Amino acid sequence: MNAITQDGLAARFEHARTLVLEAGRLAAAMRETLAPIETKSPIDFCTEADHAVERLLRDDLVARFGDGFIGEEGGGEAAAGVWVVDPIDGTAGYIHGTSRWCVSLAFVLNGRIELGLIYAPVEDRLFLARRGHGATLNGKPMRVSGLAHGAAPVVECGWSERRPLAAYCDVLQKLTRDGMEFRRHGSGALGLADVACGRNDAYLELHINAWDALAGLLLVTEAGGWTNDFLAGHGLTEGNLVIAATPQLRERLLAVLS
Ligand code: LIP
């Protein structure tokens, strides 16, 4: 693969912002006639829409740009330039008919997240970020909360069976002791996007997969927030702890996790 230039990143960003909308509309349309779901584990499911949306994204992006592709359902290989995709993040919300689900697309070049795109069709919220170019929600610049609300910080805490429930509850107890509120909504990507636009003051999960997190992490940093170094070690292929927050909460959250 030839070296990807800034123009190459711009071309990918421009194309992906249209493609993520198409993918979200496909998922929303399929919701109406959903076939029986695949059960991966007692609380982890997959639908035919997950597969269809991932196929749409993989076939388009690989054919058009020749990049690598890693998807939640079909897997894939790391590469110098690789798309990391969750076709439907918040599968439980999607299955149950809530608005809390989205399509999440990130592009990683030489180990650095360069593009992040998240579309939540039911809420009609399109989150975009390109490294060094800021972050937007439906075309308007967005910033983290800065705790400007003056109320108790709200920390969205995701959980999956990849970590013990007791460890999750311990985090909730420590957040509460430190005067912070906690929420869980089932989509890590949207939880991170809500940190970027200031609806959450932080997002925390003891283990999350790269396809759930990478787009949202770039949204947060481009909106003035702080995140842990998710891609350290084998974060891209094995997932990692994720902390993303308005900078004022960094030390308090690190203390909760220490
Ligand atoms: C979800 C993640 C979330 C996690 C959920 C679930 P999915 O991904 O985005 O962070 O807490 O348990 O794994 O399965 O909806 O694509």
pLDDT tens for 163-205 read: 999 999 999 999 999 999 999 999 999 999 999 999 999 999 9
Q: State in Å: Cα 89 to ligand 1 middle.
A: 6
- Report pLDDT for 39: 77
Residue nearest to atom 15 of ligand 1 (CA): 90
Residue 70 predicted with pLDDT over 60: yes
CA-to-CA distance for 238 and 229, rounded, in angstroms? 14
Nearest in space to 106 (alpha carbons), one of 141, 82, 142: 82
Q: Which of 71-85, 142-156, 158-172 has the lowest mean pLDDT?
A: 71-85
Per-residue HEC secondary structure of 111-156 comes to CEEEEEEEEECCCCEEEEEECCCCEEECCEECCCCCCCCCCCCEEE
d(CA 71, ligand 1 centre) in Å:
14
Residue that has been written with the tokens 């809420």 in this structure: 123
- Taking the centre of ligand 1 as the mean of its atom positions, its distance from the CA of residue 208, in whole angstroms, is 7
Q: What separation in Å is there between the alpha carbon of 1 and the centre of ligand 1?
A: 32
Summarize the confidence of residues 207-229 as an average pLDDT.
98
Give the whole-angstrom CA distance, residue 202 versus residue 205.
Answer: 10
Residue 2 pLDDT grade (very low, low, confident, very high; cuts 50, 70, 90): low
Nearest Cα neighbor of 168 from 206, 209, 203, 208 is 206
Average pLDDT over all residues of the chain: 95
- Cβ contacts of residue 134 below 8 Å, gap of 6+? 141, 222, 223
- Ligand 1 atom closest to 86 (CA): 16
CB distance 245 to 203 below 8 Å: yes
Q: pLDDT-derived band of residue 77, with 50, 70 and 90 as boundaries?
A: confident
What whole-number distance in Å separates Cα of residue 190 and Cα of residue 203? 10
CA distances 248 to 88, 176, 203, 227, Å, are 31, 17, 13, 12
Nearest CA to ligand 1 atom 12: 160
**What average pLDDT does this structure show over 105-132?**
98
pTM of the model: 0.96
Pocket of ligand 1 (CB under 6 A): 44, 72, 86, 89-91, 158-160, 186-189, 205, 208, 212
CA 188 to ligand 1 center in whole angstroms:
6
Q: What is the pLDDT of residues 12-56, one digit of tens each?
A: 999 999 999 999 999 999 998 877 777 777 777 778 899 999 999
Q: Whose CA is nearest to atom 13 of ligand 1?
A: 160
pLDDT of residue 1: 46
Q: Closest ligand 1 atom to the C-alpha of 212?
A: 9
Ligand 1 center to residue 41 CA distance, Å?
A: 12
Question: Token pair for residue 6?
Answer: 């800034």
- Measured from the Cα of 208, ligand 1's closest atom is 10
CA pair distance 10, 215, nearest whole angstrom: 16
Looking at residue 34, its pLDDT comes to 78
**Ligand 1 test: best mutation among 212, 214, 217, 243, most atoms within 8 Å of CB?**
212
> What's the gap in Å between 250 CA and the centre of ligand 1?
23
181-183 vs 112-120, strand pairing mode: unpaired
What is the distance in A from the centroid of ligand 1 to the CA of 93? 10
CA distance 246 to 53: 32
Instruction: Name which residue sits closest to atom 10 of ligand 1, judged by CA.
Output: 188
Which position has the token pair 């909760």?
256
**Token couple for 159:** 């959980």
Measured from the CA of 90, which atom of ligand 1 is nearest?
A: 15
Nearest to 92 by CA among 41, 163, 126: 41
